[in-house]
A and B are shown apart, each in its own frame.
Chain A
Amino acid sequence: GAGVSQSPSNKVTEKGKDVELRCDPISGHTALYWYRQRLGQGLEFLIYFQGNSAPDKSGLPSDRFSAERTGESVSTLTIQRTQQEDSAVYLCASSLAGNYEQYFGPGTRLTVT
């Protein structure tokens, strides 16, 4: 079946612009995660959605970052007033409820110039 998809695959933006990154999880996966991976670093947790529960936003680095999820489907990660330090690969993952195994998308490579 279809895996987790993300779009765009690459995004180049100018400093100060807003960007929206999209994630389509695997159908039936109620849990969805966003991570940031800077060059040479591990995955940094950003936000976690589980069903209709309030999202866990504890990993968002600043109020410029926000994310939404429509029901148990698509999620968008928005970065406002992008900065050069926002340049990274943004990964999305989904999982079944109560399951620790996550399925990752291909990521969106964001470059802020």
Chain B
Amino acid sequence: AQSVSQHNHHVILSEAASLELGCNYSYGGTVNLFWYVQYPGQHLQLLLKYFSGDPLVKGIKGFEAEFIKSKFSFNLRKPSVQWSDTAEYFCAVTGTGGSYIPTFGRGTSLIVHP
């Protein structure tokens, strides 16, 4: 069975600090990887995705994530956070064999202090 672990449940940073949120997955096959974000009072939305190719993917608002196959990881990074990055961040994984049902991690709550 596939699973996703997000080890940081709550992260508190000051503006301009660097961010790295961990995501590790367990899956017996090739994967698609996603980060979703939920800003306060808003819907969950896709932040970035990895399907194949360059393991370093860039998303909206300056976020990026790196797929490291040997570590089964897909960590989310941003060099300098802003107060507006305060949100809940979810990592998700699907297989590539036509199963479109993702498995989500439990999420990381990020609070950025101005």
Query: What is the total number of residues of chain A having a CB less than 8 Å from a CB of chain B?
Result: 27
Contact of B101 among A45, A99, A103, A105 (CB under 8 A): A45
Query: What is the total number of residues of chain B having a CB less than 8 Å from a CB of chain A?
Result: 23
Binary flags per residue of B26-46, CB closer than 8 Å to A gives 1, else 0: 000000101010000001111
Instruction: Please determine whether B106 and A42 come into contact, CB atoms closer than 8 angstroms.
Output: yes
Instruction: Please determine whether A100 and B107 come into contact, CB atoms closer than 8 angstroms.
Output: no
Instruction: Give the number of residue pairs across the A-B interface with Cβ within 8 Å.
Output: 52
Contact of B106 among A33, A40, A99 (CB under 8 A): A40
Let me know if A104 is at the binding interface, CB within 8 A: yes
Hey, which chain A residues are within 8 Å of B51, CB to CB?
100
Binary flags per residue of B72-110, CB closer than 8 Å to A gives 1, else 0: 000000000000000000101010000011111111000
Chain A: minimal CB distance from B84 (Å): 20
Instruction: Please determine whether A95 and B100 come into contact, CB atoms closer than 8 angstroms.
Output: yes
Contact of A42 among B4, B34, B101 (CB under 8 A): B4
Chain A residues within 8 Å of B, Cβ to Cβ: 3-4, 31, 33, 35, 40-45, 48, 50, 56, 59, 91, 93, 95, 99-107
